[in-house]
Structure 1
Amino acid sequence: MNFLNLLSEIEQVDPEVYDRLDSRRRVFKHLSGVGQKLSAAALPLFVGAVFNKAYGQTSGGQTVLDVLNFALKLEYLEMYFYRQNAGLQGRVSAINYLALFTFADDETKHVAFLRSTIAALGGTPIADPTAAQFDYSGARISSTNTAGPFGDWRTNPATYLALAQTFEDLGVRAYKGAAPQLMANKTVLTAALGIHGVEARHASHIRSMRRGGINSSNPSPSVPAAPYSALPKSWISGTDNGGAGGGTTLSAYTTPVYGAGVGTSFPADDNVVQGGVTLSGSSLPNASGFPAAAFSEAFDEGLDVATVSTIARLFTVATSTLF
């Protein structure tokens, strides 16, 4: 067993693996004496104990099936959102409208994959919540509880794409946050990270659509402009000024998507501390002059189930207990 290669592979998915185990220096200090103290037969037990310390207490009691069923809830939220795009026909360019259909097809495939995977693992997929469980206007926390601030989402392309960016960015962070909990099943982990990659591409494309203009046949001819709420980069920069609703009355819905979650393992998207090292132009060689945003943009930050649920719940009907 090449333990160092194993750590390196896990670090690709979970850069905080050393922090979960112990400090990097102490990990290698412990490993330096492993060969002298343990027989080959005992080494797997040692490795198991190490990773139990790293991940045994981070899942909040969730199993692989729990994680997959939670992901399924998010996929339903996105699938039913993208399926309801008929009101945008003629209001956006043909290429942008086609992209929305592609996203709907992707999300439908994600739902089917997760359901079949859960069943194959001996679990029971959640019941289809149906579109009736979701209220994309955000009426759940509206003062009147009858019409939310995104009330024109079916026919206003700007509102629709603002919501799409919010859901996709949330989904990307949710998958990243759940990845360590899927370590026990490498096949499932690989597939989940594949979905994570698709969601990230969706997010990037939607950002370019918002930046380029709803009627543009070229999604991203415009230059991103700070604070990025209206003309975002194709990736998250810092906390994106609260996302698509930043600086407006919609910020209560979108800002938490980019904020910190519960616990130190889920920092906000403007985090510049990786592996215990604060990344800055002064702390890294040949990096002087780079702003803090450049360092935060280089890393994706995961988000925990509780925080993701709180955000997603805003887009369900008042009687829903889905999240």
Structure 2
Amino acid sequence: MEFIKLFNSFNTDNRSEEEVDTYMSRKEAFKKLGGLTKKVALASLPVAAFTVMPKMAFARAHDVIAVLKFALTLERLEYQFYIEGVNSGIISSQHQNVFMAIREHERIHVELLEATIQSLGGSLDGVPSMFDYTADGVFPSPFGNYQLFLALSQAFEDTGVRAYKGQAPNLMENDDLLKVALQIHAVEARHASQVRRIRGRKGWITEEDYDGIDGFGSTFMMASSAVYAGEKNTMHVGVEVTDVTTVPVMAVREAWDEPLSMQMVVDIVTPFIVS
């Protein structure tokens, strides 16, 4: 599959866990995500800045474009998911505005990343644009079961949060790109928190997620467990956090979103990619 070849050839996940962890603290989500629709256009402002930057100013441009294509794959996966979700009519009227807002955010992220890649001289070739949310029939359609739609939404959003954190170190040499990536990371975290709360859970990853999302069969639970791999970690920058605080172990585990490597994310999303 071209998607696998693309990211295997450019994979830049060769740093230690200590280098990868960027200490992005967890924030509470908005209680009224729908109110963001008036502000989402602000996220597209950096496009103009990217289009006028000299291409030679970007160190390791080859790797940077690979990271941006990787991010674009995730955003297209999510954007199409919310397009189909909203259009399906499966979403509760109570939450319709929430998912319409999320859909709009994902559209802006897609357009921003596409414009940035092209402004750096890259192409969009090889970036998937067609998806099957049943994973080729492995799962029921999420567009016929609202609870399954919410569960898959949670899995995609949590994957996106951890994926952006995993790739942040690869953009450290470019402040502008890093800033935008972390802005998107923050929006994805708010999406994840809001979806989790709709599902009646806490707004952050907890112990009940470690083994995967339950309630939809063992196959779905096993597949979604990859989204939460490594979330039990309590060591940061070489320090065992539980040794320097009296905070309970579970609270330490919940205090950080752990990064996912590019390959781990590829393994999670590949079953949903058609082309």
Instruction: Please classify the TM superposition score into its range, dividing by the shorter chain length.
Output: 0.7 to 0.9
Highest RCO, 1 vs 2 (Cα 8 Å, sep ≥ 6): 2
- Structure 1 residues 68 and 18: CA distance shift in structure 2, 3 A: closer
Structure 1 residue 303 corresponds to structure 2 residue 260: yes
Q: Which amino acid aligns with 1:315?
A: F
Equivalence for 1:116: 115
Equivalence for 2:7: none
Equivalence for 1:72: 72
Equivalence for 2:209: 240
Distance in 2 of aligned mates of 1:292 and 1:128? 40
Unaligned runs of 5+ in 2: 1-15, 22-58
Equivalence for 2:98: 99
Distance in 1 of aligned mates of 2:18 and 2:235? 10
**How many pairs are equivalent?**
223
Equivalence for 1:186: 175
Q: Which amino acid aligns with 2:116?
A: T
Over aligned residue pairs, what C-alpha RMSD do you find?
A: 2.8
Q: Which amino acid aligns with 1:68?
A: L
Structure 1 residue 82 corresponds to structure 2 residue 82: yes
| Cα displacement string for residues 98-156 of structure 1 (whole angstroms, at most 9, x for unaligned residues) | 111111111110000001111222222346744xx2110122xxxxxxx222x131121
- Structure 1 residues 127 and 105: CA distance shift in structure 2, 3 A: farther
Structure 1 residue 203 corresponds to structure 2 residue 192: yes
Quick one: which of 206, 216, 228 aligns to 1:258? 228
Distance in 2 of aligned mates of 1:156 and 1:190? 37
Unaligned runs of 5+ in 1: 1-13, 20-55, 140-146, 212-231, 260-267
Asked if 1 retains the 8 angstrom alpha-carbon contact of 2:117 and 2:124, the reply is yes
Quick one: which of 272, 275, 284 aligns to 2:237? 275
Distance in 2 of aligned mates of 1:17 and 1:310? 22
Distance in 1 of aligned mates of 2:168 and 2:131? 26
Give the superposition deviation at 1:62.
6.2
Distance in 2 of aligned mates of 1:18 and 1:128? 24
- Structure 1 residues 129 and 279: CA distance shift in structure 2, 3 A: closer
Give the superposition deviation at 1:87.
6.0
| Cα displacement string for residues 24-80 of structure 1 (whole angstroms, at most 9, x for unaligned residues) | xxxxxxxxxxxxxxxxxxxxxxxxxxxxxxxx9xx9x96111100110011110010
TM-score, normalised on structure 1?
Answer: 0.63
Distance in 1 of aligned mates of 2:196 and 2:204? 8
Asked if 1 retains the 8 angstrom alpha-carbon contact of 2:20 and 2:259, the reply is no
Identify the structure with the greater helix proportion. Answer: 2
Larger Rg: 1
Structure 1 residue 284 corresponds to structure 2 residue 244: yes
Distance in 1 of aligned mates of 2:199 and 2:211? 15
Give the superposition deviation at 1:86.
4.1
Asked if 2 retains the 8 angstrom alpha-carbon contact of 1:239 and 1:269, the reply is no
Q: Which amino acid aligns with 1:298?
A: A
Distance in 2 of aligned mates of 1:65 and 1:18? 19
